[in-house]
Amino acid sequence: MLAGRALGFRAGPSTSVRPDGSRPRRRTIDIREVLTTLDGMADPSRLAGMQRYGIATDTALGVAVPRLRELARSLGHDHELASALWDAEIHEARLLATMVDDPAQVTETQMEAWVRELGSWDLCDQLAGNLFDRAPFAFDKALEWSAREPEFVKRAGFALMACTAVHRKDVGDEAFERFLPAIRAGSSDDRNYVKKGVSWALRQIGKRNAALNRRAIATAHEIREIDARSARWIASDALRELESAAVQARVAATAAS
């Protein structure tokens, strides 16, 4: 199996946290054991379905994401293990790396190295939503990457915008308002994964609260005036959700609370 290529990686320490917040005695996890576990979870019958959804499968084992999350919970956060998993160059090992890494230990160099190696939308989005959205450089990288040309790097920029909008309750509106000009600028890119990322970012920002909802809707109307097929699609897709009764009720409830 694919995991057999990487059995020479070193072990990594685990410092998982108990439910009461205490830390157990430090233990060592052998990357070889983790890769062997992934091999045992492989389901080649899933690969055809992954391909139908546009997921690259040349290094994939066919392990479902919920099973990877179960494994990640048993492993705990481990930055060294995450690095070794990423270096294994196996699709599911890299997905697992996004789940076990410690956001506080993520460096700018690591973010740049990992984003350059993206070749599939699912890994791009999992990396953004599991790890990078809580990293120290998340907001700066979202803006930087949204202006770059490689498709999955650009997608990662907008995915980061979307995921920070969902997960970063500790951040005020101004940080997300800074994303709106970049979203408008990216709306003329007709590449499928980019335009869907642009819409995703705009919709998630517009669902945070009433003020950002108004700003996002105004941005969507500006995008609709751009003479580009992708811009018209993004505007329609975003406005359909942001102006819906469900979202309007949600942001109104947020304002009232």
pTM for the whole structure = 0.88
- Are 131 and 106 in contact by the 8 Å Cβ rule? The answer is yes
Write down all domains in the chain, each with its CATH number in brackets: 1-101 (no CATH), 111-257 (1.25.40)
Cα dihedral angle (44, 194, 153, 179), rounded to 10 degrees? -130
Report the pLDDT value the prediction gives residue 20, as an integer from 0 to 100. 57
Report the pLDDT value the prediction gives residue 10, as an integer from 0 to 100. 42
Q: Report the C-alpha gap between 122 and 53 in whole angstroms.
A: 9
Q: Report the C-alpha gap between 236 and 5 in whole angstroms.
A: 46
Identity of the residue numbered 191: R
Q: Report the C-alpha gap between 140 and 112 in whole angstroms.
A: 12
Q: Could you give phi then psi for residue 227, rounded to 5 degrees?
A: -85, 75
Maximum distance among all Cα pairs of the chain, rounded to whole angstroms: 60
pLDDT tens for the chain, 257 residues long, are: 454 444 433 444 444 445 555 444 445 689 999 999 999 999 999 999 999 999 999 999 999 999 999 999 999 999 999 999 999 999 999 999 999 999 999 999 999 999 999 999 999 999 999 999 999 999 999 999 999 999 999 999 999 999 999 999 999 999 999 999 999 999 999 999 999 999 999 999 999 999 999 999 999 999 999 999 999 999 999 999 999 999 999 999 988 87
In the chain, the N- to C-terminal Cα span, in Å, equals: 53
Instruction: State both tokens at 98.
Output: 């996004």
